[in-house]
Amino acid sequence: MMPLIDSHCHLDFPCFDQDRKAIIEQCQQLGINQFIIPAINRQSWLSLLTLCDRYACCWPALGLHPCFTQQHTDDDVKQLRQILLQHPAIAIGEIGLDFYDKTTDKQAQITRFEQQLAMAEEFALPVILHVRKAHHEVIARLRKYHIHHGIVHAFSSSQQQAEQYIEQGLLLGVGSLISYPNAQRLRQLFQQLPLQHLVLESDAPDMSLFNAPALRNTPLSIYTTCQQLAQLRTETPATIATITSQNVTNLFRLPS
């Protein structure tokens, strides 16, 4: 059975409340044995920590998601630091910059992002990044705050930006986007990049596989993503699973 780790999913979301245990058991039957779960706001931190205490296969990252910047307060940032002092988290996340909406308050996002990068530097923790239409700004700030460990979640940008992240020491998240017919450029990129810089992710309940029913996604989808990436690279699924899972294990210092 292939060892698989889902490097980015939201199993703490309420849509999994009724069958979370069953989904985890189904995943384990396919060899998907560990799940990295990044928070999105202050309200989710304690419940996420409780969930990860209950399920030894789940690992928490704590942070403030850029898409909800208008909801985040200075006190949230202070509380994030306090909770990191008291509770083990494997990363700061999900954090970043999202400039897809041209009306967004970019400076507010940048302020929250920099506050959390400073915390990642202080606590020597990796980051889990959400980036849309802001790669240049994110890379500049990773350099500014000496961040050399983390994952760029659901990477879908250019080869040049991929190489800049890799040079900075970050890993790139490969998810269901490679299953879409219009993602030819992205498939070519993941075909060429060294496997030691890639990790698998589902982003459940979002980012369903192409042609999947219009329902929530689950971490089960990374089994298919692993098969598809193997086919792209003409490597075995076992090789993809082993190396990408080792990349996650090394980054977050998970038990082997």
- For the stretch 188-237, pLDDT in tens is 999 999 999 999 999 999 999 999 877 899 999 999 999 999 999 999 99
Q: Which residues contact 190 (CB under 8 A, 6 or more apart)?
A: 174, 178, 198, 229, 232, 233
Banded model confidence at residue 1, pLDDT cuts 50, 70, 90: low
pLDDT average, residue stretch 78-83: 97
pLDDT average, residue stretch 91-100: 97
Q: What is the pLDDT of residues 28-60, one digit of tens each?
A: 999 999 999 999 999 999 999 999 999 999 999
Cα angle 197-92-111, degrees, rounded to a multiple of 5: 110
Banded model confidence at residue 88, pLDDT cuts 50, 70, 90: confident
Which domains are assigned to the chain? 4-252 (3.20.20.140)
Length of the chain: 256
Q: What is the pLDDT of residues 103-156, one digit of tens each?
A: 889 999 999 999 999 999 999 999 999 999 999 999 999 999 999 999 999 999
CB 158 within 8 A of CB 203: no
Q: At what angle do helices 221-233 and 184-192 cross, to 10 degrees?
A: 70
* Gyration radius of the chain over CA positions: 17
